[in-house]
Structure 1
Amino acid sequence: MSSADTATPGASPVDWARIRGDFPLLSRQVHGKPLVYLDSANTGQKPAVVIEAVDDFFRNHNANVSRAVHALGAEATEAYEGARTKLARFLNVRPNELVLCSGTTFAINLVAYSWALPRLKAGDVIVVTRMEHHANIVPWQLVAERTGATIKVAELDDNGDLDLDALHALLTPEVKLLALAHVSNVLGTVNPVREICKAARKRGITTVVDGSQAAPHRVVDIASIGCDFYAITGHKMAGPTGTGALWARREHLESMPPFLGGGEMIKEVCFEGTVYNDPPHKFEAGTPNIAGFIGLGAAVDYLSAVGMDHIEAREQALLAYATERMDQVQGLRIFGRAREKAAVVSFLIEGAHSHDLATLLDLEGVAIRSGQHCAHPLMQYFGVPATCRASFAFYNTFEEIDAFIAALDKVRRLLA
């Protein structure tokens, strides 16, 4: 494969070697070996422009937002709200529909406590899928415990695809909420969220989409998906940790009570009562992660400059090559071969514990994830205690995949 691949016929080539050079951490060594970082589904690496944006804020503009008339306060507010505008454009939504928060976990809990908890009651049903991250399961369990609602599970097939017929059959009049991942963090399955949300909307069912594993790797057009809520995490999309957002339909944001109380989320406070701020600020109590969101704005600029269509094509090429090579490794089992999937491969090698495998690979400089990936019900479905997971990003190379396969073969022989 060339370092300057073409995403689509007629498209301008991308110099992926140059792009890789934008990420300082990727040039380091681990245990005396060149780092092969295959854990981007856990957290993405950061380009220098993101690191520099955060550094520049603290060096030259550090002040709180929306609370000072001095120059530094104005600069901080402009940069912070500018990040909201960039992120809204990236997702094809309006800035005033986008609540900035610490990530998908917070975003889904916001929906659970501010939308679901005041509305659901005994007899109502929440539907989630078997492949959900715990962040899209546990909040709904907490709501169900407090309201008397029940949870039903949409199952999948052995390839890791949702059983759409069974899912649609679950969408009975009792169902008030459907929560599902856009992309599975374990299987890489890309769910047909537009089709699913359209079916739910016809039945009056509110939809929550976990977009953590979608936004870093493909074009996300929330307007075309047709969901009610969409959550993202910034640190998976080349931004700093502690950043993310919840998009919600404006009518939901208007009707939902605040989740947290404090400064910034109010217009007027007196002991007789409080007037809340307009959405999205109504849900943004306290001092936010200002530097982090400025970094996320820089990350959005960076991803947009590379082009999400180019990024998806590059990662699909890496996935195809990695899958082909892994299928040649003796005793290796891949979990999840969905019709459409992102660049994530969960696997086990016969006779090897996932943690042992990951530890030995780390000694070869290869960083993968091992464990249950915050998806216990999915591990139970496949009948395994844990898996290893190699996840690829556009800054990875085909040579790194070759190094990964060579390390796998070496470790497999050690564990035999």
Structure 2
Amino acid sequence: MIRLIQPLQKVIGTWLACCIGLTAVSVFAYQLSVRHQVAETIADWLPGRIAEAKLDYYAGDNPEALFIQRTNQDLSQYLSRPNLQVYLLALYDTDSRPWWPLSAKLTVTWQSSDNQYRSLLAVQSLSPWRRIGLQSALLALPLSLLLLIAPRPISRQRGYWLEQLSQNATGLFAALKLTRNIRALPPEQDDCLRRLWQAHAVTIDRLQPLLQSPVFGQLSPEQLAWFELALSDNHGNLESALDVAQSEPGVQLKPQENQLWIHGLLIPLTKTPYCYYLWYAQRRRLNRDGGWVMNPPANRPDTELGEELQQLMSQYQGHRKALNELQQHGLRAKTVDQNRNKIKEEMVQLLGEKLAADYLFETERDFKTGRSRYRLAPGESRIIIHWPPPEK
């Protein structure tokens, strides 16, 4: 029943819109025609009327006013049309302002003795609503049916995809079906598909299942960015890319495997930057000093922080050269700065600057020492560290 009601509502709505449009056009055309006929009739009739009247013979101080009065009496008989009243307002109109075509005032130009004059009239005309309404209703029925069955013009978006798909030897009906599905997507998803298509990350074989996925059309702009990145990283695996896009924003570390996962995507950091990232993540997770790590003084290494970092790196096979430096000198400002920069460099290269920013470092200056301190941007609730079970 619902399947029948919806098309019927569409037909009735289209028919009503056509009725209203046709009625408005018909009324406008009728009123315009009446004014045109009145102007032609008056332009032919008025010069003779003036010649017959011979204004000079009218008595009184204002013969023109008397002429207008008597002319208006004769106009009601001369223009004997139902629902039409015409009045002469001024025999010689000096106002050159143009009137709206359907205004109640009408300017008529007429000629006498090789001279051209303008007169101002008032026109009151009632449209034959019953006849116009019936004609519009009858004409609207085939017009509305024609509009409903007529093919819609191809949008720029659909034209683009038809051209792209036709170049890949896709049949016309298959291409039309695919573009119909693409047209239903939000603009952000369409832009994402275009970028992936141009980068050859999405092909014909992958386009159909992607459009059929109920998940893709609901991804937010931020999730779409992760989807694009994951699709390239997972060699076009749609399911894996969609899983990454829907993952909770956060950080997971598995120290035993030297693995870092961000937003469900594996981030392969080199060994020493990974240990530094794990160290910052541990302090942020434990909320130790709010997760902040004060940079050591430029002229004096921090032995306490150096020992803490050294124990962590020793436990998870840190680079021997980095371990020896920590044992001999402690944590130096130059070393920690270099590794933070290395972390940023590798993550920006993998994620892009925009996506990486939420998983890098916050910084602020300590007013007591004048030195900078750093911590990871994700809060402690968004950091999970899978420590290995303790040895028995």
The normalised TM-score by structure 1 is: 0.18
Structure (1 or 2) with the greater helix fraction: 2
Structure (1 or 2) with the greater strand fraction: 1
Asked which structure has the greater CA Rg, the reply is: 2
